[in-house]
Amino acid sequence: MIYTNKGEIVKKIFKLEKIRVLGLDIGSTFIGIGETSSLFKKDSVKPITTLNRKNPKFTSLLLDIAKDANAIIVGWPLDDQLREPPNVKNIKNISAFLFQNNFLLGRVSERLTSHEANSILSQADWKLCLNKKLNDQVAACLILHNFIDYAKFYAESNNLQIKNKE
């Protein structure tokens, strides 16, 4: 199985002194990337970059960014009927590539994260919402926010002993 259960990811990460979790918003052309060093503070989530999948160096750039990540959380799209849309193939291909390179992968719903990212950017400055690459990075951060919410709930529900609260 390519994807590890989110609860198992949380258990593994909570045992570590230092963590780095990436969030990916994978589109047909661009991949927005965000990161966090804490499963407890949403303000620790920050955008990193947006990669163009058409760049010949795309795979090496992605591996370089992900090299010291403890886990990678992939946004998983669902349509209005909670079905996978046709473009999920892109996400599966990138996920398979990361899995083959020994990364711990999880997935969370990315439903409407791009729209929410656009709304956040337009509130800051309407010109920002015209920047597709920045929108993808913010969407990746929102994917991490969803995972952090899950991690907090899981930790509290399972009385996990936490090493890294920062």
pLDDT in tens, 61-77: 999 999 999 999 998 88
Question: pTM of the prediction?
Answer: 0.85
Mean pLDDT of 20-40: 90
Q: Mean pLDDT over all residues of the chain?
A: 84
Mean pLDDT of 78-97: 85
Cα-Cα-Cα-Cα torsion 34, 35, 40, 43, nearest 10 degrees, comes to: -60
Q: How confident is the model at residue 124 (pLDDT cuts 50, 70, 90)?
A: low
What pLDDT score does 138 carry? 83
Mean pLDDT of 112-128: 67
pLDDT in tens, 36-47: 987 777 778 899
What pLDDT score does 10 carry? 87
What pLDDT score does 81 carry? 79
Q: Which residue has the higher pLDDT, 53 or 3?
A: 53
Domains of the chain from N-terminus onward? 6-157 (3.30.420.140)
Instruction: List the single range of 43-47, 96-100, 126-130 with lowest mean pLDDT.
Output: 126-130
